Amino acid sequence: MKDYRVSLVNLSRFFLITLIKVFLQSAILRSQALILSLVCKEAYAWITRVLYRSVTFSTRDDLLNFQTTILSHPELAQFIQSLYIGSTEHESMAKSVFGQFTWSNECLTTVRHLLAKSQNIERLALVNLPPSNWHSIEEILPPRLKTLAVGPSYGLLGINVAHRGLKEFYYADTILQSAELSRIANLPSLTDFKWRSPLRFDEVVYGQLKILLRSTSLQTLHITLFGTEMDIHKFYKTEYEDLIADERLTIVCDPQYEGSREWISDFRQQWVTTDA
């Protein structure tokens, strides 16, 4: 009799797990997920977690509307593991939906509130966040953050060793100072760093890459520079060969880099693919 009951329990668990898998597979499309969430309370709980696991806010209205939603349902913020805020395709800073030189106070306050409430975020992207806003964001980065992507932005990056769990860092369309790079190199858990810089390869860039390569935790360093590889070999062959002797480093040259931010569309696609 006991074995019979155990079999029934195991069978019930199997059907429950199968049912959950069916619901989650059917909820890949957001429209399907919204319909499925109305089936029953259990379905609503499962589907809601899927819907809010990865969230994107590419417009001011979407961001502010979600703020209103979590005031009524604060638990939704806890479901977010991946958060993307900002442009999803190429646009000029002047046309940025969040602000040109600084995000509006309304948007900035909402982002800060959302980050404070979303303690389970592991991946965070802030695209077109002006440097004047960074300091107020950094102090409330989620404690479980593993991946951070920011840019384009010109100004001091206050990243510090307090973010001990950060493993992946992507900084795009940005000039960084040596002091900032030293702080990045000292992040104890950092394994992957991608930096898209509008600079050409020269003695300064060579010195900065040497700073990054001092990191004892870094496994891959990928940098995109303006210019051509031919120019590097012509003027800085010795420095270049010294750098690439370190197998962790990959240098990509983009002769069309200057004045272009088409990378945003590509970056967005990579972000979504990694989320999947």
Contact 83, 45 (CB under 8 A): no
Rg (CA), the chain: 22
> What angle do helix axes 178-185 and 203-212 make, rounded to 10 degrees?
20
Contact between 57 and 84 under an 8 Å Cβ cutoff? The reply is: yes
User: Which range in 49-53, 123-127, 260-264 is most confidently predicted, on average pLDDT?
Assistant: 123-127
The rounded mean pLDDT for the chain is 78
pLDDT, residue 26, reads 47
Parse the chain into domains and list their residue ranges: 1-51, 53-144, 153-260
Q: Are 249 and 239 in contact (CB under 8 A)?
A: no
Report d(CA 158, CA 155) in Å as an integer: 9
199-244 pLDDT, tens per residue?
899 999 999 999 999 999 999 999 999 889 999 999 999 999 999 9
Whole-number pLDDT of residue 94: 43
pLDDT of residue 206: 96
pLDDT band at 32 (very low <50, low <70, confident <90, very high): low
Least confident of 21-25, 107-111, 204-208: 21-25
The pLDDT of residue 153:
63
Closest CA to 242 of 204, 197, 210, 276: 210
- pTM of this prediction? 0.78
Residue 200's closest CA among 224, 179, 216, 184?
A: 224
Task: Give me the pLDDT at residue 239, please.
Answer: 96
Please tell me the predicted confidence (pLDDT) of residue 162.
60
